[in-house]
Amino acid sequence: MKPAGLPRSTHPLVTLRHLERSDAPAWYACLADPVVIEHTSWDLRSIDDLQANFDDYASADASSSMRLAVVLRDGGQLVGTIGLNAISPQHRTAEIAYDLAPAVWGQGVATSIVDAVADWAFLRLGLLRIQATVLESNERSLRVLQRCAFEREGYLRCYRQIRGRSGNFWLYARLAGVP
């Protein structure tokens, strides 16, 4: 999905824009960093593995995934992405997902953009629930979600395959109108 109005980042370091196919090399470079994907379910073997995602992001279907580029305000360099997957217009739900380059870790970027996208999705898309599934070892992401008023709802054993092995995930959710 490629929405007309985008969430606005208030973080002084980054802004958000549509993710474009021309971003594939920079996004792949970010996701090829073992430190970035260590606590995620990404399993990319080449830049070609990202191409199907771009078809989904370009779709006009309200249930297709949406992904935004996180870029530096100064220079426009891509330093990550954030988006919504498993969007259900019928149930008014979605799953939030994000990845950032280590260069911007520890500066409040993730907290800022997760808050911005969640607030925007409740207001602009009319969602009632946004959830996140986080690999149990991803302490940084767990703290981000907690700071953004997501509540832990459950533990998902063997929920996804992580580069050939089963991974356990925590399920978090934030509801519209619940601070």
Mean pLDDT along residues 46-53: 92
Question: Is position 107 within any domain?
Answer: yes
* φ, ψ for residue 125, nearest 5 deg: -95, -10
Question: What pLDDT, on the 0 to 100 scale, is given for residue 168?
Answer: 97
Is residue 162 a part of any domain in this protein? no
Q: Looking at the domain assignment, is residue 2 inside a domain?
A: no
Residue 99 is part of which domain span? 14-130
Q: What is the pLDDT of residue 179?
A: 62
Cα gap 168→160, rounded to integer Å: 7
- Chain centroid to CA 107: how far? 17
More confident residue, 164 or 108: 108
Beta bridge partners of 173: 131, 151
Give me 18's structure tokens: 């549509």
Asked if residue 172 belongs to a domain, the reply is no
The separation between CA 91 and the C-alpha centre of its own chain, rounded to angstroms, equals: 20
pTM (2 decimals)? 0.94
Three-state DSSP state, 173 = strand
Residue 64 is predicted with a pLDDT of 93
User: Minimal CA–CA distance to 16: which of 145, 95, 129, 115?
Assistant: 115
C-alpha–C-alpha distance, residues 63 and 134, integer Å: 22
Mean per-residue pLDDT of the chain = 95
Q: pLDDT confidence of 49, banded at 50, 70, 90?
A: very high
7: in domain: no
Query: Tell me: the pLDDT tens digits for 126-172?
Result: 999 999 999 999 999 999 999 999 999 999 999 999 888 999 999 99
- Predicted local distance difference test score (pLDDT) of residue 108: 98
More confident residue, 97 or 52: 97
Question: 54: domain CATH number?
Answer: 3.40.630.30
Provide, rounded to the nearest whole percent, the portion of the chain with pLDDT above 90.
Answer: 83
Is 84 in contact with 121 (CB distance < 8 Å)?
Answer: yes
Q: What is the pLDDT of residues 74-100, one digit of tens each?
A: 999 999 999 999 999 999 999 999 999
**How far, in Å, CA of 167 to CA of 84, rounded?**
21
Q: Which residue has the higher pLDDT, 2 or 155?
A: 155
Phi, psi of 21 (to 5 degrees): -55, -30
Q: Is the pLDDT of residue 69 over 80?
A: yes
Give the per-residue pLDDT at 40.
84
Domain count across the chain = 1
As a whole number of angstroms, the distance between CA 23 and CA 96 comes to: 20
pLDDT at 91: 98
Half-sphere exposure in the Cβ direction for 140 (13 Å, CA): 19
Which residue carries 């994907």 as its tokens? Answer: 37
